Structure 1
Amino acid sequence: MTFRAGFVAIVGLPNVGKSTLLNAFLGERLAAVTPRAQTTQRRLLGIYSDEASQAVFIDTPGLLEPRYTLHRSMREEALAALDDADLVLAVADAGFEPSLDWAGGFAPAVRVPKILCLNKIDRVEASTREGLRARFASGGWDEIHGTCATEDEGVPELLEALSARLPESPPLYPLDDLSDAPVRYFVAEMIRETCLEELEDEVPYAVAIRVEEFREREGDRPTYIEALIHVEKESQKGIVVGAGGRTIRKLGIRSRRKIERFLGQRVYLRLRVKVLPNWRKKTHHLRVLGFRVPAQES
């Protein structure tokens, strides 16, 4: 039997469901997902393997017009994924006209197959779905698929189509791997996801997480994790901590539950908050926090 393997870059505007789609492909909640745009800040590899193929998905930040250094870093992360890809999966929100306009004008300079995924197809009347496909029929797409990733509608068919277009190759990673990212990365993402869910206005976008300590302990003692929640201003620190520490306790409880489900073991989680002034705009702060530094600013 011929085995196929390769990299699939998932690209699109913010909040179109790229990470939800990745999680649906893998059958695991690997990528952070919230209703907020820009939940994904850096690219993440998610690996799907079966007996005949291995698709290495590159989940990328939403393509947005950058307003500061972190945005430029996120955009470079997304565009760099196209250079590594054997397939490009462009995702558009079927019920959001600006996203459809983006898909209509998306023309990366790549010589690999391009597949368009019209996600959130449940937002479109069944009678108009074929017309939506016809709109993109002459856009240079190799295939067009409709999905509702939250309900797994169309996802198996899309995954099968992607796997069939991968190049012939031996597996690129061990077949039981789900990602190449370390456990600390996922712990930090679960804490950041919780901040996005619980904090309001601009505050969660000013949050960056760094896991300072991750220590498994002997016997039935819980794994010890200590993490820093970085914010940009003292006022934001006060909001994250909350009156009498109420907010940070809530963040800790919800984050700990997610981490325990992910690790399958008990966890003692300690959260601290530290001000890192204007970290989103300063290259040396971004570098320390593990972000790609934009080429023109490195």
Structure 2
Amino acid sequence: MTQAIHKSGFIALVGRPNVGKSTLLNQIVGQKVAIMSDRPQTTRNRIRGVYTTDEGQAIFLDTPGIHKPQHKLGDYMVRTAIATFGEVDLICMIVDASEKKGPGDEFVIEQLKKVNTPVFLLVNKIDSVSHDKLLEIIADYKDLYPFKEIVPISALTGDNVDRLRSLIFANLPEGPQYYPDDQVTDHPERFVVAELIREKVLHLTREEVPHSVAVEIEQMQYREDKDLLYISAVIYTERTSQKGILIGKSGGMLKEIGQRARTDIENLFGSRAFLELWVKVKEDWRNRETMLRNFGFTDTD
């Protein structure tokens, strides 16, 4: 009896900011491993999501959106995204069907031309456009690059995502299983918890505040005597005025951030959680190399 071939490989999800990369990763994996927001540049690190079936294992890298950097953190984010192109077995370039092709999309394609990795074009948010409009978008991109496959999807509703999974496995090489069956991300638990807290800041604040924050988990331990996961975290921001916004009137904003994050944390770990949040100011941290390293933003992976 012939043994079934086990396939495995690494897939990069790339595109300009806010096209739905994190939403797609969560949809494929089946639970939240990457934070989502309607703001660009939400993803800062390469988030690995793991999808395992009897057929094999696909490891997805949700890269930061490729954009013109405004500070050292932004520069790191763009380098991180482009560095993945030559390291993976397959690249999925995601574009937004509800928006016109722009310079950001063309810049991504120019970077793709520098590597020999096969590329899928994923036309996302098809639930927001007509069939005729979708055909126009596909025709517009077809002439720019020899995509291996063009797959219209809705990352939000899951429409056509099963077909995408099948096409991905059809294009992966034979390989080993890198992670256990039940593992959906290779990021440590502290990283995931910090990202969930940062997601709530992105949802609840406006203007310059969302992208001026970093979250550090100072303590995280399970207290068996109370059947409780205890977490102490610090939200760092760049200015005292931003700290005031994050705390809010009578601590209302910080309380809301904590309550929303705790709900997600309890769902993730299947345990009651106690979340203690603090806000501290680190001036101009996004341009300070030592602070970037402290928060895990390095070029080594």
Compute the TM-score of the two structures, normalised by the length of structure 2: 0.93
Corresponding position of 1:35 = 38
Deviation sequence 1:255-291 (CA, Å, 0-9, x none): 1111111111001110001111101111111011111
> Over aligned residues, Cα RMSD in angstroms?
1.6
Deviation sequence 1:168-212 (CA, Å, 0-9, x none): 112122232111111111100110000001112111111100000
Which deviates more, 127-136 or 2-11? Answer: 127-136
Q: Secondary structure of 1:185's match?
A: helix
Corresponding position of 1:201 = 207
Q: Secondary structure of 2:179's match?
A: coil
Q: 1:56 aligns with which of 54, 59, 64?
A: 59
Corresponding position of 2:68 = 65
Deviation sequence 1:197-246 (CA, Å, 0-9, x none): 11121111111000000011113432110000000011111111112212
Amino acid aligned to 2:166: E
Preserved contact between residue 94 and residue 100 of structure 1 (Cα < 8 Å): no
Q: Secondary structure of 1:150's match?
A: coil
Q: Would the alpha carbon gap of residues 244 and 128 (structure 1) be closer, same or farther in structure 2, given more than 3 Å must change?
A: closer
Q: Would the alpha carbon gap of residues 3 and 99 (structure 1) be closer, same or farther in structure 2, given more than 3 Å must change?
A: farther
Corresponding position of 2:246 = 240
Q: Would the alpha carbon gap of residues 97 and 169 (structure 1) be closer, same or farther in structure 2, given more than 3 Å must change?
A: same
Q: Does 1:285 align with 2:291?
A: yes
Q: Does 1:123 align with 2:100?
A: no
Distance (Å, rounded) in 2 between the aligned partners of 1:140 and 1:247: 48
Preserved contact between residue 86 and residue 117 of structure 2 (Cα < 8 Å): no
Q: Would the alpha carbon gap of residues 204 and 214 (structure 1) be closer, same or farther in structure 2, given more than 3 Å must change?
A: same
Q: Does 1:212 align with 2:215?
A: no
Distance (Å, rounded) in 2 between the aligned partners of 1:103 and 1:168: 32
Q: Secondary structure of 1:224's match?
A: strand
Equivalent residues in 2 for 1:1-298, closer than 5 Å:
1-99=4-102, 102=105, 106-107=109-110, 108=112, 109-138=114-143, 139-292=145-298
Preserved contact between residue 85 and residue 117 of structure 2 (Cα < 8 Å): no
Uncovered stretches (5+) of structure 2, i.e. residues with no partner: none
Q: Secondary structure of 1:214's match?
A: strand
Q: Secondary structure of 1:111's match?
A: coil
Query: Structure 1 vs Structure 2: percent identity of aligned residues?
Result: 37
Distance (Å, rounded) in 2 between the aligned partners of 1:105 and 1:201: 26
Amino acid aligned to 1:136: Y
Distance (Å, rounded) in 2 between the aligned partners of 1:45 and 1:80: 15
Q: Offset at 1:123? A: 2.4
Q: Offset at 1:104? A: 8.4
Compute the TM-score of the two structures, normalised by the length of structure 1: 0.94
Q: Would the alpha carbon gap of residues 221 and 172 (structure 1) be closer, same or farther in structure 2, given more than 3 Å must change?
A: closer
Amino acid aligned to 1:117: L
Amino acid aligned to 1:262: L
Distance (Å, rounded) in 2 between the aligned partners of 1:245 and 1:132: 47
Q: Offset at 1:101? A: 6.9
Deviation sequence 1:126-148 (CA, Å, 0-9, x none): 12323332333342101100011
Q: Offset at 1:100? A: 8.4
Distance (Å, rounded) in 2 between the aligned partners of 1:100 and 1:186: 32
Which deviates more, 166-175 or 21-30? Answer: 166-175
